Amino acid sequence: IAILPTRIEVRAALPLHNAQQLAQQVNVKHASVLCVKDDAVYVAGERQVWRLLPVPLAEQVDQLVDLQRYEAALGLCECMDESRERVQRVRQIKTLFAYHLFSQRQYDAAMDLFFQLRVEPLDVLGLFPGLLSDRLVPAARLNANRHRYPVAVLDARTDGGVLDRALRSLVNYLNKVRHQPSTTLRPTMRLGTHRGGGDADGGVS
């Protein structure tokens, strides 16, 4: 916490992705004295005293997730007490982060997280056009929407170079899934051949 001429700045001192990132700014003029007592920070000016209270970690995590600052949210989770709820929350945030990376076209990083989290392969395949049969697409979409994950990021109009890069990441992911112990793909799964401009020909039944 720092007192500046026209404001108070609060910066993270926890193991976040960027520990020096500005967390909050409070517009306070002519503050000159700062002290800490119990869980509060007191700031004194010429005629006023302000009390700054910490926001509970769980609430801060929720705020960061709403802002799509997933790495910072995961950093704060590391500071929370060990519990089943914490483990579940970390997994949920990592999954949201994986879909976010996919939507930002960071396909390798997204697939690494999908694999680490053992996301259902059908949900991953559902992010690509033409790889699931019609009877499987609704189920994949429903599972994704249940967790507020973005879906249908790619479609047949996606630039061919981008789609090729995404498909290469998908192939690497599926190869790792195939060799992962205790994880099996449907025996009838069949990926089609990608042809040039943007459509993936074939399906999974």
Sign of the torsion formed by the C-alpha atoms of 5, 10, 16 and 17:
negative
Q: What is the per-residue pLDDT for 184?
A: 45
State how far the Cα of 116 lies from the Cα of 15, in Å rounded to an integer.
22
DSSP-assigned letter for residue 125: H
The pTM (predicted TM-score) of the whole model is 0.69
- The 3-state DSSP class for residue 171 equals helix
DSSP codes, 37-77: ETTEEEEE-SS-EEEE-PPPHHHHHHHHHHTT-HHHHHHHH
> What is the chain's pLDDT, residue by residue, as a tens digit (205 residues)?
888 888 888 776 655 545 456 567 778 777 888 888 888 888 888 888 888 888 888 998 998 899 888 998 898 888 888 899 999 999 999 999 999 999 899 999 999 999 999 998 888 888 887 777 766 665 555 555 554 555 545 666 667 788 889 999 999 999 999 987 764 444 433 333 344 444 444 344 3
Helix pair angle (107-117, 160-178), 10° resolution: 20
Structural element, H or E, at residue 41: strand 40-44
Whether 113 contacts 100, CB under 8 Å: no
